[in-house]
């Protein structure tokens, strides 16, 4: 073991790994927020609750229906995404002509309802969700112990993030989406069903949040409050990265997770606040965000 500034390498890499895991969730969540914001022009405050809902649906599938992790990974995003479609059609769609703040307030209210209902039913202490047997155990590397499940979370989220980027930047559907983001009226005039596109985009963004929730379930306990704290950090990530760019959202998610991990090693007291401090500095230096366009 090579000591580095009196910090054992084991601890350094351990925290970096943890930072990368958190970064995976930040990236998945800020990606969903950015996609939704691009087309719907609302900040989806329910995003954290939908992440939590993803974890809960996975837990319910396992405990009530005996459906395991791998199916949950597919089903939970679909179920939560479908609930998102219903929410968008019934509630959010009524607000598009109004000021953005009403979207924020509405989705905040929905988040409170979801969180309160699940806390009534399951309490606030959290419930365990076992790591799937295929991913139990870990690899003993020369410098650290790498649990298989954690490696999987990082790989999975990188794949999903890049897949989403390819979908938006390289496919016809993505081209429609970008066109509708740029100018919904004109896109509609070209015969593209923009309201449908909007609904599907919301469902997709929500599905991403739920997927992050399923990935998180075995690492953190399944808890009604798990979404509330992470969403505020993700808001800061989004302010730092700027919501104009998909890759920007992904990159700043992972990078800030790593920074948080590093802070845990060198100055643990600041680990909860470091992202907010970075946000303040970015606002002073580059108010539009690192990848943002001034709007």
Letter string b/e over residues 155-166, b meaning 16 or more CB atoms within 10 A of that residue's CB: ebbbebbeebbe
Q: Provide the minimum distance between the beta carbon of 265 and another protein in the complex, in angstroms, as a whole number.
A: 18
Nearer to another protein, 16 or 110 (CB): 110
> For another protein, which is the closer residue by CB, 75 or 91?
91
Phi, psi of 147 (to 5 degrees): -65, 135
Q: 3-state DSSP call for residue 221?
A: coil
Are the CB atoms for 202 and 43 separated by under 8 Å? Answer: no
Work out how close the CB of 159 gets to another protein at its nearest, in angstroms, rounded to a whole number.
28
Minimum distance of another protein from residue 107's CB (angstroms):
9
Q: 7 with 265: CB under 8 angstroms?
A: yes
Closest distance of CB 66 from another protein, Å: 28
- Give the Cα separation of 292 and 86 in Å (integer): 31
What residue spans of 66-99 are helical by DSSP H? 69-90
- Tell me the C-alpha distance between 230 and 238, whole Å: 12
Nearer to another protein, 74 or 117 (CB): 117
Q: State in angstroms the smallest separation of the CB of 172 from another protein.
A: 20
Specify the residue, 42 or 222, whose C-beta has the smaller distance to another protein. 42
Choice between 94 and 189, CB closer to another protein: 94
At its nearest, how many Å lie between another protein and the CB of residue 43?
5
Min dist CB 127 to another protein, Å, is 16
When the beta carbons of 6 and 269 are compared against another protein, the nearer one is 269
Helix axes 226-241, 274-285, angle to 10 degrees: 20
In angstroms, the CA 121 to CA 93 distance is 29
How big is the CA angle at 40 (ends 242 and 44), to the nearest 5 degrees? 70
Binding site for another protein (CB under 8 A): 37, 41-43, 91, 94-95, 97-102, 104-106, 108-117, 119-120, 181-184, 228-229, 232-233, 235-236, 238-239, 244, 269, 272-273, 276-277, 279-280, 283-284, 287-288, 293, 295
Helical (H) or strand (E) element with 140: strand 138-140
**Which is nearer to another protein, 154 or 222 (by Cβ)?**
222
Count the helix, strand and coil residues of the chain and give each as a percent rounded to the nearest 5: 75, 5, 25
- 29 vs 33: CA distance, rounded Å: 6
């Amino acid at each position: 073991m090579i000591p580095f500034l009196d910090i054992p390498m084991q601890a350094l890499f351990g925290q970096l790994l943890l930072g990368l895991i958190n970064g995976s969730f930040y990236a998945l969540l800020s990606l969903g927020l950015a996609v939704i914001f691009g087309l719907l022009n609302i900040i989806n405050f329910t995003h954290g609750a939908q992440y939590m809902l993803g974890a809960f649906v996975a837990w319910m599938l396992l405990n009530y229906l005996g459906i395991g992790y791998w199916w949950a990974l597919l089903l939970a995003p679909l179920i939560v995404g479908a609930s998102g479609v219903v929410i968008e059609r019934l509630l959010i769609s009524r607000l598009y002509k109004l000021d953005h703040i009403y979207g924020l307030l509405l989705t905040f209210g929905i988040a409170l309802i979801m969180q309160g209902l699940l806390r009534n039913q399951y309490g606030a202490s959290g419930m365990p969700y076992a790591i799937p047997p295929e991913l139990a155990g870990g690899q003993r590397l020369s410098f650290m112990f790498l649990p298989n499940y954690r490696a999987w979370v990082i790989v999975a989220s990188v794949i999903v993030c890049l897949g989403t980027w390819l979908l938006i930047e390289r496919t016809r559907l993505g081209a429609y989406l970008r066109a509708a983001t740029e100018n919904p009226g004109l896109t509609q005039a070209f015969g593209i069903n923009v309201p449908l596109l909007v609904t599907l985009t919301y469902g997709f963004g929500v599905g991403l949040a739920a997927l992050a929730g399923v990935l998180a379930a075995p690492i953190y306990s399944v808890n009604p409050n798990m979404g509330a704290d992470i969403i505020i950090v993700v808001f800061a990530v989004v302010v730092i990265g700027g919501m104009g760019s998909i890759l920007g959202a992904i990159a700043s998610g992972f990078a800030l997770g790593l920074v948080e991990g590093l802070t845990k090693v060198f100055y643990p007291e600041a680990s909860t606040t470091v992202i907010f401090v970075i946000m303040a500095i970015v606002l002073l230096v580059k108010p539009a965000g690192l990848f943002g366009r001034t709007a």
